[in-house]
A and B are shown apart, each in its own frame.
Chain A
Amino acid sequence: MNLESFLLMRSEIGLLAILILLIIFEIFSNKKQKAAVIPFALVLLAINTALGFLPLASGELFGGMFKTNALLYFFKTTLSLGVLILLLQSADWLKEKVVDENKASEFFMLIISSLLGTYFMISAGDFLMFYLGLELATLPVAALVAYDTYKRVSAEGAVKYILSSALASGAALFGISLLYATTGTIYFDSMAEILTSSNLSILAFVFFFSGLAFKISLAPFHFWTADVYEGAPINVASYLSVISKGAAALILMILLFTVFKPLIEVWHKIIYIVIIATMFIGNLFAIRQQNLKRFLAYSSIAQAGFILLGLMSVDNLGTATIVYFVAVYIFSNLGAFGVVQAISSFSNKENINDYEGLYRTNPKLSLLMMLALFSLAGIPPLAGFFGKFFLYTAAASQGYYILVFIAVVNATISLYYYLLVVRAMFLRQSDTAIPYFRSPVYMRLGLILAAIGILVAGVYSPIYDYIFSISNTFLN
């Protein structure tokens, strides 16, 4: 192994470098300079994201523990872009933290460590690396959820998150150990060759799946979601719902399509039921929510159900539609969370009722919120429509028309509650509407990037075609 092959880990090394630079900055800056950490970290991450658009070879390191290929690399870049948008949206919220509590750089460090964890998790070539990545992705988030130290709900959310996450990790680990017991290996490649459909391996799969299902917040492992999102600062909730969930969905797909392929008969049935349960539970509970964070929590549970539709088609099509949908979903959800963040940091209001009459005072924010929600609901010409339609196509290509039918029914239910927010903003008028305000620069930049993603990612077809062209890189 020569030094150049380390360049395969370029994205990871980039994040590590950012982490180290942040630590150095934190040590050597005086109190007045602390605020500069925000542009500093943002620029570093922007550079790292931009580097992600340069091509990278496929290959593996450390005897197959770490793998990379075009698809993973694309996905990492997308996640990095998502985190960049998210950090832009949280920059102004962090400024207060710098002044009052002097803990902005920790926020960056924690979130970038977690991102590094997700990178390692999706790039894993064996279960050890996978597990390390999973934990590195999860633990910093627990600290982030509790970031509003003096808020009781925030601490409560963090405790809930860490407890259920520990339980889920335990379940996954137990599943992994059973897998090791049946096959005698922890490497994905060799396990895929050995694994057969035995009772023990099915048991192992079920435990392992439960662990990951917690991360993606699939029903019936979704109970933590709403409480944690409500307690967490908005940007952390946003991180949980887009980055953490998207990465977990990707690794679930990779494992199901490779390692667990011998068990396809079993997991297709399980996924079938989980999809239906997740969509219905997410959608029906979302209808009743007043708090927008809880609302978006349930909506993101329902969206997770849609993501899994792509799993029904174990080929390029399934892979491409899932990756595409996750990318589109990142933009849409960041748009929605961004508006909630902007309004909350101005007025501390987070309920749907508070948004009444918003269009007349803040037309641009309302418009973006509507675009984001319509994209989540799957209305053309926004990106979400194409994402959803292609997922339906993936499921229908294997003849799962009934499942597609259930999914479209759910899409209609989801349209109802997304329209409830639109109704509050556009149809209602209120004397106590949130007055006009101008969002700070970073926030506007973050919102504009999300809006561009929502508007362009669908109509501009080369994006999907590119994903499709690289989608078979991990299958062989």
Chain B
Amino acid sequence: MDILSLFVVVPVLIVLALSFFAKDLKQARLISVVGMGIQFAMSINLIFAYLKERAVNTGIMVFTKDVVWYETFNIHYSIGVDAISVVMIALTAVVLLAGIFISWKIDDLPKEFFISLIALSSGVFGFFISTDLFTMFVFYEIAVIPMYLLIGIWGSGPKEHSAMKLTLMLMGASAVLSVGILGIYFNSNADGGALTFNIFEIAQVNIPEAAQNIFFPLTFIGFAVIGALFPFHTWSPSGHASAPTAVSMLHAGVLMKLGGYGVFRIAMYLLPVGALNWSDFFLVLAAFGVIYGAFGAIMQKDLKYVNAYASVSHLSLVLFALLMYNKTAWTGAIIQSLSHGLLTAMFFALIGMVYGRTHTREITKLGGIMKVLPFIGAIYVITGLAYLGLPGFSGFVAEMTIFVGAFQHPDMFRRILTIVVVSSIVVTAVYILRMVGKIMMGPLSNEEYKDLPKATWFEKTGLILLLIPVVMIGVLPLGLSEMLKESIQPFLERLL
């Protein structure tokens, strides 16, 4: 078994182990935490193995493997990673492991919860290692559908409605995507070769411009809906608000990144001319999403909604940066994906902890939590500051890189858009500081909160797991960005 396929095989084995051997919560979480611990260790190992392999291997992808799956359609199970997929895999592994720690005490149907969560993750890992369009699409859908059960069964509030809305919007988007993929597939012989689903073979082909103009928006929208592109972001706030903590973490932290990753890897790479022709239109949508999400977050009273709208804003920033087509902005986009993934997962985890103790997520009803829950409070403040871009944390590195890159563009239209988008930083500061100040500082809002239980060991473990990479990216960004830049190069060359 090769090093990459294990990332799909281990979750599948864990799912099987859970289905047959787990009897109660204790066994279920033990199996899950061991399994995902292995997965996490494998992902750390993958980073080092990648760095080692990169030094000797100059291909776009390393650790490649190719097995014919459906011969008649030329569908292959072909895998490989570059720096971008490696860091995404690491992000997924860490968020997932943290999510399992946070769900330590899930009481209703624990076995099924972990099965759905890990089944979902197998789709995510598979998505990041695939280099074949069809295989990638299969994994993408596997990653989306368990969300319905996860939100519907273990969620809160209007969970049935939110779950249905989220599933239908995302599956609808993937349906649109499937048309785009078929369009790419049937144009992959434009230069006279055979039809193929292999991404790097298609990248050698010059697909006719007319076809690119039709299929780029389908592919772009198909992916960007899960990346919260305005106006298709509406599934996100309600979905995240209703989802249980670990699911919000995984969804906002990892699943939404599938959008940006797919746009980068498929839509822009395979349809470069279409991408250039459509970039202005989607840039405006993305820029609007950044501003809209930020103002949306200001207006919210529910902590989860604040974070959900903030995610819309930050992920629109990723799409915005990707549409800028230069190396710096793209590096920023990927660092932003990582940084947002970690920070939003921390936020959702913290909100879950506060909510689990106080049974409210309304900002107005909370106050002075820092006094009774010092650990949670301190981490909350750190997360907030990192989120709004304080130097020393990952958020600053990401946003700084994006804005520098975006402004490099000589085009006046893009510069103006960049300036508009930069102003969202201020808005972000407003809602983050207001929220943190209101719920953490000041007098205790309710006398009953005095005896709230302190953070437990598993909650602390989960948070610290997420905090370490945030600080690492913030303090030592150069290694990461060098590693990413190298991998971005071939994709950029295709566009310009």
Contact = CB atoms under 8 A, between A and B. Distances in A.
B12 to A, nearest CB: 10
Interface residues of B, number: 32
Given A404-B182, A468-B72, A385 B138 contact: yes
Contacts of B186: 396-397, 399
B70 interface: yes
Interface of A: 320, 374, 379-381, 385, 389-390, 392-393, 396-397, 399, 401, 404-405, 408-409, 411-412, 415-416, 419, 422-423, 426-427, 461, 464-465, 468
Contacts of B167: 415, 419
Question: Chain B CB within 10 Å — which of A392, A397, A401, A426 has the most?
Answer: A401
A385 B141 contact: yes
Nearest to B19: A367
Contacts of A405: 176, 179
B175 interface: yes
Nearest to B72: A468
Interface string B155-194: 0000110011001100110011011001101100000000
6 contacts: A393-B73, A401-B214, A416-B168, A422-B148, A423-B152, A427-B160
Contacts of A411: 175
B438 to A, nearest CB: 34
Interface of B: 69-73, 75, 134, 138, 141-142, 145, 148-149, 152-153, 159-160, 163-164, 167-168, 171-172, 175-176, 178-179, 182-183, 185-186, 214
A275 B98 CA distance: 48
A416 B182 contact: no
Given A396-B183, A401-B182, A426-B152, A464 B70 contact: yes
Contacts of B214: 401
Given A401-B183, A412-B168, A392 B145 contact: no
Contacts of B71: 461, 465
Contacts of A380: 138, 141-142
Contact of A465 (B70, B160, B168): B70
A393 B74 CA distance: 12
A427 B168 contact: no
Q: Which 5 A-B pairs have the closest CB atoms?
A: A408-B175, A427-B152, A396-B182, A380-B138, A412-B172
Question: Chain A CB within 10 Å — which of B160, B167, B171, B176 has the most?
Answer: B171
B175 A412 contact: yes
B141 A379 contact: yes
Contacts of A399: 186
B168 A401 contact: no
A464 B160 contact: no
B178 A389 contact: yes
Contact of B179 (A320, A379, A408): A408
Given A385-B138, A397-B186, A423-B152, A464 B72 contact: yes
B91 to A, nearest CB: 23
B69 A461 contact: yes
A401 B160 CA distance: 33
B179 A381 contact: no
Given A423-B152, A426-B153, A408 B176 contact: yes
A16 to B, nearest CB: 36
Contact of B182 (A393, A426, A461, A465): A393
A269 to B, nearest CB: 22
B190 to A, nearest CB: 14
Given A381-B142, A408-B178, A412-B171, 10 more contacts: A374-B145, A385-B138, A385-B141, A389-B134, A401-B214, A405-B176, A408-B179, A409-B175, A422-B149, A427-B159
A379 B145 contact: yes
A385 B75 CA distance: 15
Contacts of A415: 167-168, 171
A414 to B, nearest CB: 10
A245 B134 CA distance: 30
Contacts of A401: 179, 182-183, 214
A422 B152 CA distance: 10
